[in-house]
Amino acid sequence: MSMAAKSRAIIRDGTASPGLVALYLLLALVVVTLAGISFGVSELPVVRALHLLLAPDGSPDSALIWDVRLPRAVLALLVGANLAVAGVLIQTLTRNSLASPQTFGINAGASLFIVISLIALPGLSPGGTVWPAFLGAAAVGLAMWTLSVSGVMNDVKLALAGISIQLVLSALVQAILIANNAGQDIVYWLAGSINGAQWNKVLIILPFTLLGGGVTVVAGRHFGVLALDEATSVSLGQNARRVGGLAAVLIVLFAGSAVAVSGPIGFIGLLVPHIVRRLVGSDQLTVIALSAITGPLLLNAADLAGRVAAFPAETPVGIVTALIGAPAFLVILLRQRVR
């Protein structure tokens, strides 16, 4: 079959073949990741960078790749996947297309608890910040889920309530930092950044990504029941409350661990599920799998864009995702209001 025929064949019922979409996304992810590893103050040709990835030789360039740029790229992969899958799950759990870890204040809750912990326990290790992140994410997530199931707010009002909570919590964080003369590194982290990533941060988030990812893959088909009413789910032999509880735990796991290592990076969890559903439809497991590829792609691309735009300085990736995501959020919001 010719390439033209393959291209025509990928479109079925207005959506594309998931297999080919996954292939194209993976190719794009490899290209963007290699570009990010090659680009910097000490720029390396892509071929040279690829060679050093496959055969490190102990040279300064090899140390630059393995100790500085590769940890950053891997961290972006894990954080992007976590935020994207968390976005899919929270939109499914709340049946709200405007939901995400940021718009529902979950990232801000995790950030607040981390900052309080760092101020109260100055010697807290980077790995120790994961647990307060989980507590903060769970506290805000529970509050938003309660509002969601109460039925007193429509999707738009619920999203606006979440943004209001996020703004209040962010203001509290700023007040705490100012009152305690916090260092520049915490302020930079709050903007959402993977700059200066090291392998220890990768090792902090990796177990939670693997654990959450494994559970999500195994239970992926069951999450579709969350879009049904309770009577229908019971008739299908599914326990919607149990599935919803599992989804909530996974959201906290994914979002909390991501915030702990990179700060509150926004809009990945909001945009990626919409992009993937537009490409391949709404099959739950397919959307989850492709979101786990698209999230890292979008985050690595945003990180590269921030480095190129401010070269030789760097713009925190959270600022770049906000510049991209805020207009997109308004478009989604307006579409919801029209409906």
More confident residue, 7 or 44: 44
pLDDT band at 64 (very low <50, low <70, confident <90, very high): very high
Supply the mean pLDDT for the chain: 87
What is the C-alpha separation between 173 and 290, in angstroms, rounded?
Answer: 34
* Host H or E run for residue 85: helix 70-94
* Host H or E run for residue 113: helix 106-120
pLDDT of residue 329: 82
For the chain, the domains span: 55-338
pLDDT of residue 10: 44
Instruction: Look at residue 10 and give its three-state secondary structure.
Output: coil
Dihedral through CA 9, CA 14, CA 15, CA 20, nearest 10? 20
pLDDT band at 28 (very low <50, low <70, confident <90, very high): very high
pLDDT band at 66 (very low <50, low <70, confident <90, very high): very high
pTM to 2 decimal places: 0.89
pLDDT of residue 15: 65
Instruction: Look at residue 101 and give its three-state secondary structure.
Output: coil
Q: State the average pLDDT over residues 250-277.
A: 94
Output DSSP code: residue 95: T
pLDDT of residue 1: 44
- Quick count: other Cβ atoms within 10 Å of Cβ 60? 8
Q: Copy the structure tokens of residue 151.
A: 């039925």
pLDDT of residue 8: 46
Lowest mean pLDDT among 37-41, 116-120, 186-190, 314-318: 186-190
Instruction: Look at residue 11 and give its three-state secondary structure.
Output: strand
Q: For 55-338, CATH number?
A: 1.10.3470.10
What is the C-alpha separation between 324 and 197, in angstroms, rounded?
Answer: 23
- Distance of alpha carbon 169 from the chain centroid: 19
Residue 168 has pLDDT above 90, yes or no: yes
What share of residues in the chain are helix, strand, coil (percent, to 5)? 80, 0, 20
Output DSSP code: residue 227: G
